[in-house]
A and B are shown apart, each in its own frame.
Chain A
């Protein structure tokens, strides 16, 4: 039946017609994880018992006709969403044995509609990385080429969905951590407007930038998952109540396209971009044109300043957020501390990996006396400029196209010795985080047999529209339906 290829709506139909139970579906995907994940390392843990319990509950909901489209559908959670009583590591030795006593809001919301948590996916340690190579539990591989990275930090989620080990997955995006792996793995990934999806229970990397979102095969799957992830949450002080929390209807018609103008920022499509990728993007833009959208070149300057500003801000916030890991209340504790200071120093030395340590140090430095204005304050001001630039562009166009990444997935180890090169690969995604905007990455073709993604960026709370536009595109194209050969079998 090729169940693994099916969309959420297709699976939901099978469940509702009782042609398939959630229990069967869950076992089916657990089997796929068992058969394939040794090649990918996309999961840190699976909890078969808990998944099966949830599947049985979902089957009850379905037999009582109280189901939603998501009831009984498996979902994989990035391992920084707290799951009550289930190992949550953030891919760090620091939390190697941490079982949270509560569920993240996103986790409980999805459980409430009857989704089945099929496992916790691998990631960069504390979400710090763009390649999934900083995980304490080893790198994740890209199903399109096992020698390349799946992107990061939500690399496990992307790899798992691309190999069809889970129909959909959650991720988080601080500087591109949903969109970049979605792009590297040929998937659709949405980074929502800051404040749309609750951060409660999501282990913090950089509080003012972190935002949870869906990773799936298609805009349609992402819309369905996002519908249940979003919403105002009393437990999250940065949760935004200013948007209408309505279900997204993917009802955009081709004849509506002529009323929509999409800008192409010339700075983002410059000669600095890989020529082959530029070709793929231009072909995709041609398709949008043919569909009737108005396409217009615009200028979106200063994006080159984003990388320094982003890494300063994210590291500063992280340096403080990660102070709580001290070997006292939870997580790793060094053996036989000789003094309080020894407890702190060794616990944190042993518990954190190099990239995490480096960012904590950069952040501590940027906030320290005498350097605050030079680094932290300037970064906040650059942030204002980046946001203002987007806002003035949105006076002329409704949406923006942008590459997701300067390259396709790179080889494992290729950039791990050149940190700055790795940071620079986030150049097209980080501006969106600094500006707090929503953006989706959709697959638009291949370059050297590796998937290429393109972003559609919108104004605050325009997730519905960017998903509608993506969905319309995906009705014209088949890029999102491709499955890597090695995993394209039962």
Chain B
């Protein structure tokens, strides 16, 4: 047993899913030409002023309510002053005193699979910085300020996380909340969801926290785990060698799987926080909070229990249904419309729509199909108007946008009826070409039906054998 224990606190930066930036009306779209989404306000040009985006407040309040936090009735923005080229004004508009969200908690599973509560200190709003691209060849750094001013919610946990696994669970839980609420797209590759981890170790039983290091900008669950594990080991090794931990900012190098000190952040910064004199206090009235509360969806944890106890859905099924609120709503609606048993509805959904979305990186929120239409298609399958196999093609057609429900139904049911006539012709041909077997049937050897069914199925693959059998008997009896 190790005599050391680790203490971890996470700061998660979530880019909020708004159309425009937090303080300007530039688009927040990712991946545009450099500096083409940097307006005069984003560049901090002399005389420009920040104007707050309402939607940002709403999303922060949604998050606060989802984690049972206090929503501040009065909240203020502050300036964090430091010089850095991707920070156009050389101060970041953030929050210090009176953040929009204070308190709250989420629950995760600890290593014994028991529920563990992680308290959240605060969540505050701030503007994102731009991006620096360092060039060795040209010995300079290029600055792209498109990202500058993208709204961020910084979610700060208490130092109550005990190990890397818990950190990942915590991060996943926050990720599921923000994506479920549609507060963020949660895209970690594009940096919409990133994490700083404060890591320290102490002897088991010690009350006092050890000296911590801050691991900056980790953008995947896997790297959070690796970086924290590396850092814990590094700190324990140092302490066991009788050395001390330096309080510093470290960067995780994913290629080498190590953390290293960030030279640029070596000096303790004096950020000179003060209330932003360009921005007046935000007042959030109770009525607004109530409205947001009423429109808040039932959260994943509660839904999870509901699906298990009412429908006996599997964990895999539930994790797909709870992937985002659109999917959840879709399934809930489908379950209420459909007369088919819930398991089947979910399986049909997963094998058709979900498979397509997943494969082609599409979104249910595009609104190509609603739950009612989906149920109509399922009814057609159940009534054998169309086959189960058609479902996939129907979904493709719907996504292609060239069909509406009406003509899709016509297309597939007529295809099936035409294939039915084909099957009828086929049966007729086979029977008329096998006179010997017909005689055997007529003489009472009814088992010979199996031969005809086999012949037909050879040609008409995928047909329902019981229907074929009925048809063959009907025809044989008619001649």
- The interface of chain A, by Cβ under 8 A from chain B, is 80-82, 88, 90, 95, 98, 100-102, 104, 199-204, 206-208, 234-238, 316-317, 319-320, 323-324, 326, 328-330, 340, 344, 364, 367-369, 372, 376
Contacts and interface: CB of A to CB of B under 8 A. Distances in A.
Contact of A201 (B47, B270, B279): B47
Contacts of B43: 329-330
A320 B270 contact: no
Nearest to A314: B277
A326 B48 CA distance: 16
B208 interface: no
| 4 cross-chain pairs, A with B, having the tightest CB-CB distances, nearest first | A323-B90, A207-B277, A367-B272, A208-B277
Interface residues of B, number: 29
Interface stretch (B56-64, B80-88, B293-301, B463-471): B80-88
B91 A323 contact: yes
Contacts of B475: none
Nearest to B271: A369
A interface secondary structure, majority: loop
B384 to A, nearest CB: 61
B48 A200 contact: yes
5 contacts: A88-B46, A199-B47, A330-B43, A368-B272, A376-B274
Contact of B46 (A98, A328, A340): A98
A208 B91 CA distance: 17
A447 B89 CA distance: 46
Contacts of B81: 319-320, 323, 367
Given A323-B91, A328-B85, A329-B88, A235 B49 contact: yes
B46 A237 contact: no
Nearest to A201: B47
B45 interface: yes
Nearest to A328: B85
B320 interface: no
B280 A324 contact: no
A316 B44 contact: no
B270 to A, nearest CB: 5
B49 A200 contact: yes
Given A101-B40, A237-B280, A369-B270, A199 B49 contact: yes
Given A323-B89, A344-B83, A237 B47 contact: no
B278 interface: yes
Nearest to A239: B49
A324 B88 contact: yes
A367 B280 contact: no
B45 A101 contact: yes
B46 A82 contact: yes
B143 A204 contact: no
Contacts of A204: 46-47, 278
B51 interface: yes
B92 to A, nearest CB: 11
Contacts of B279: 237-238
Interface centre among A98, A234, A324 (most CB of B within 10 A): A324
A82 B47 contact: yes
Interface in B249-291: 270, 272-274, 277-280
Nearest to B38: A329
B143 A328 contact: yes
A279 to B, nearest CB: 40
Given A102-B40, A328-B143, A329-B45, A237 B50 contact: yes
A490 B275 CA distance: 52
A238 B278 contact: yes
A361 to B, nearest CB: 12
Contact of A324 (B44, B50, B52): B44
B79 interface: yes
B383 to A, nearest CB: 58
A320 B91 contact: yes
Given A101-B40, A204-B47, A319-B272, 10 more contacts: A203-B46, A204-B46, A207-B277, A237-B279, A320-B274, A328-B85, A329-B43, A329-B88, A367-B273, A369-B270
Contacts of A200: 47-49
Contacts of A323: 81, 83, 89-91
Contact of A326 (B83, B277, B278): B83
A324 B40 CA distance: 13
A234 B49 CA distance: 10
Contacts of A326: 83, 85, 90
Nearest to B40: A102
Contacts of B51: 234-237
B278 A95 contact: no
Contacts of B45: 100-102, 329-330
A328 B91 CA distance: 14
Contacts of A316: 274
A320 B79 contact: yes
B421 to A, nearest CB: 68
Contacts of B274: 316, 320, 367, 372, 376
Contacts of B50: 237
A202 B277 contact: no
Interface string B77-121: 001010101001111000000000000000000000000000000
Contacts of B91: 320, 323
A199 B279 CA distance: 12
Contacts of A208: 277
A207 B48 CA distance: 11
Contacts of A319: 81, 272
Nearest to B52: A237
B82 to A, nearest CB: 9
Interface string B146-175: 000000000000000000000000000000
Contacts of A320: 79, 81, 91, 272, 274
Contacts of A95: 46
B17 to A, nearest CB: 23
The winner among A88, A201, A317, A329 for most chain B CB atoms within 10 A is: A329
A207 B90 CA distance: 16
Contacts of B52: 237
Interface string B136-150: 000001010000000
A108 B91 CA distance: 29
